[in-house]
Chain A
Amino acid sequence: MPPRHASEPAESRRLEDTRGVTFLGDDGALLAGVRAGNTLAMAALYDRYVGDVRRILLHTLGPRLDLGDLVQDVFINVLTSVRSLRDAGALRSWLFQVTVRTARKHLRSSSRKWWLKLWPEGDELDTQPAAMLEENASDAVQATFRILNGMDAEDRLVFSLRYVSGLDLSEMAEACETSLSTLKRRLARAERRFHVEAKRDEALSGWTAEGKT
């Protein structure tokens, strides 16, 4: 057991001690425990879904250095509002919705910084999203997210969920809280945009329709 800081709250230590505990209940049991305010059930919910949440954020936003903070944002939202969720069978899809909402919010808040470009130094912000990517990301990953950074948040999300996460259309519609027709329209637009940009990019030109299939 690693040493702990003396001022660390007892509750924190207790939660850490539950690491490695296997929760055997289904989502219904998990949800009932969380709703009842059982901290250990909250820990179990986190452990069960943190991988999925991190993966969706990774696929939609890229390998960012602040991914852990965004994962935390998702679970703060989930754990503070999960009591309102009635159907335990919908827990997973609802969690995906919260994750996609968090990603969307992040993308939109980034794009809202446009006014900073009015400042002379604001040009440096153009490089911020790419600079945020971890340096050891592959060329394909870097090039893909360079293109995605230029897309509208909704288009980017549907493209990422479809091709990077590999979700099917109905899962995506649920996660994005949108209709299937709207989703298809956005996806088609994102595909067109991506193809145009990818052909110009050395790292991705081999992946266009004329290349690898």
Chain B
Amino acid sequence: MKSQQSLQALGAQLREDLARHEDVDRASEARIRRQLLARVGAGKGSGRRWSYGLALGFVATAAAALLFWAAPSSRQEPLRFWIEERSGHVDEWVTARDAEQSLRFSDGSSVVAGPHTTTRVMQVGPDGAHLTLERGHIDAHVVHRDASRWQVAAGPFVVHVTGTRFRVTWDPQTEKIAVKVSEGQVEVTGDGRPKHVLTAGSVLELSASAAVKSALVLDAPGPAAAPAPSASPVVESPTEASARDEDELIRARKAAEHKPDFRELSLAGHYREALQAVEQQGFAATCNSLGSRDLLTLGSTARLAGRADRAREAYLAARRRFPSSAEAGISAFSLGRLASDAGRASDAIAWFKRYLTEQPGGPLAREAAGRLIELLRQTGDAARAREAADGYLKRYPTGPHAALARSVLAPQ
């Protein structure tokens, strides 16, 4: 007890001493903040673009449609799709009885029909598909592309999608639709109502019955469906505000029931269980349907679960499917780290070099440059190690590998 008291006293002194170091250089702090947010902001999906106005989207869609119909010779092949392991056909009914049924599309999108669900693929084009939900619920993950055009019709309602992850539930008896968006955004139209724009975290419930035109369940107080938090006028754009006013029925709520997916399990540190969940869904199929950030999460989950082979697959998928994204660069770095951990120094060198070529100012550039020195030295490539060390010191004179760089450059 006495020793703990003395440690607590020392701790108080240390906190006081260390508090002096909390005062950071405001200029560099602002620079770090700006770089970080610009980087993360640049990598995000449709959410930010949404605030720039639906008009732009309309113009772009109209132009794309015009191009599509005016130049038949340039039309692309329609998407192909599979129901479980067999090829699917347009107009085919998909009925999931006690077990769910999966539909996979050739662009990486997927639709899972829950138990006791009946759905139908009405139309398939090069940029998406139109589905009808007769009853039950579907969980859809639509891969965002420049010209994605997907629709899910349920009764008088139509859910329009460009790239997102969402669930639609339709009960033909009560004529109630529920749309829950977990990523991206969707628009819901129909039944003579104004268009509802839903963003991530939102749930919309509507009823087509005459007696109850709308129904809403609010599980917990939370922000409206518009992306900006409602309590802050300064982060709410006019577009967002009008969307919120227009859509009084929308409220964000926690999902009352959900099966934890691999992201949640990974977050909780249950890496093996998270990976197992993905394996059950089909690892390769998941790699073909996840977004770029989720692929990074999958890669790190697999790595932490001790499955370097799966981690590599996830990172390679991120690079293959999103070649110009920031995540592709981070994947290159991660692949370098995997190769280094496995003792494949030449592979690791190639990946770290690729990261530095693709993202010379990236957040991992310093670490990649330092690891290059380590690996070049390890492989006995003295000349290139010196070159890497020299470049490192010029750029990061106080970096964590500076001492190593100096030792590499020191006269023998």
Main secondary structure of the interface of A (DSSP, over half): helix
Partner of B15, one of A15, A30, A125, A166: A166
Report the minimum CB–CB distance from B346 to chain A (whole Å): 17
Closest to B223 in A: A32
- Tell me whether A25 and B200 are in contact (CB under 8 A): no
Q: Of residues 77 to 126 in A, which have CB atoms within 8 Å of B's CB atoms? A: 79-81, 83-88, 94, 110, 113, 116, 119, 121-122, 124-125
Q: Of residues 177 to 213 in A, which have CB atoms within 8 Å of B's CB atoms? A: 177, 191, 194-195, 204, 207-209, 211-213
Q: Of residues 7 to 30 in B, which have CB atoms within 8 Å of A's CB atoms? A: 7-15, 17-18, 20-22, 24, 27-30
Q: Which residues of A contact B22 (CB under 8 A)?
A: 51, 54-55, 58
Partner of A66, one of B24, B220, B221, B398: B398
Q: Of residues 241 to 267 in B, which have CB atoms within 8 Å of A's CB atoms? A: 252, 254-255, 258, 263-264, 266-267
Q: Which residues of A contact B323 (CB under 8 A)?
A: none
Q: Is B38 an interface residue (CB 8 A)?
A: yes
Q: Which residues of A contact B229 (CB under 8 A)?
A: 23, 25, 29-30, 32-33, 38, 41
CB 8 Å contact bits of B26-41 with A (1 = contact, 0 = none):
0111101111111111
- Tell me whether B36 and A80 are in contact (CB under 8 A): no
Q: Which residues of B contact A152 (CB under 8 A)?
A: none
- Tell me whether A80 and B40 are in contact (CB under 8 A): yes
Q: Of residues 34 to 82 in A, which have CB atoms within 8 Å of B's CB atoms? A: 35-44, 46-47, 50-51, 54-55, 58-59, 63, 65-69, 71-73, 75-76, 79-81
Q: Is B5 an interface residue (CB 8 A)?
A: yes
Bound state CA distance, A39 and B14, in angstroms?
A: 36
* Residue among A86, A144, A195 with max Cβ neighbours from chain B (10 Å): A86
Q: Is B78 an interface residue (CB 8 A)?
A: no
CB 8 Å contact bits of B44-81 with A (1 = contact, 0 = none):
11111011000000000000000000000000000000
Interface size class of A (residues with CB under 8 A): 35 or more
Partner of B222, one of A32, A54, A132, A191: A32
Q: Is B172 an interface residue (CB 8 A)?
A: no
Binds A, one of B116-124, B148-156, B399-407: B399-407
Partner of A209, one of B3, B24, B40: B3
Q: Is B174 an interface residue (CB 8 A)?
A: no
Q: Which residues of A contact B406 (CB under 8 A)?
A: 124
- Tell me whether A204 and B10 are in contact (CB under 8 A): yes
A-B contact list, 13 entries, CB within 8 Å: A28-B223, A29-B222, A33-B235, A37-B50, A41-B235, A44-B235, A69-B363, A79-B37, A83-B293, A140-B17, A164-B15, A211-B6, A213-B6
Additional pairs, 4, CB under 8 Å, beyond known A29-B230, A144-B14: A35-B200, A38-B48, A124-B404, A212-B10
Binding site for B on A (CB under 8 A): 2, 9, 11-12, 15-16, 18-19, 21-26, 28-33, 35-44, 46-47, 50-51, 54-55, 58-59, 63, 65-69, 71-73, 75-76, 79-81, 83-88, 94, 110, 113, 116, 119, 121-122, 124-125, 127-128, 131-132, 134, 136-138, 140-141, 144, 162-166, 177, 191, 194-195, 204, 207-209, 211-213
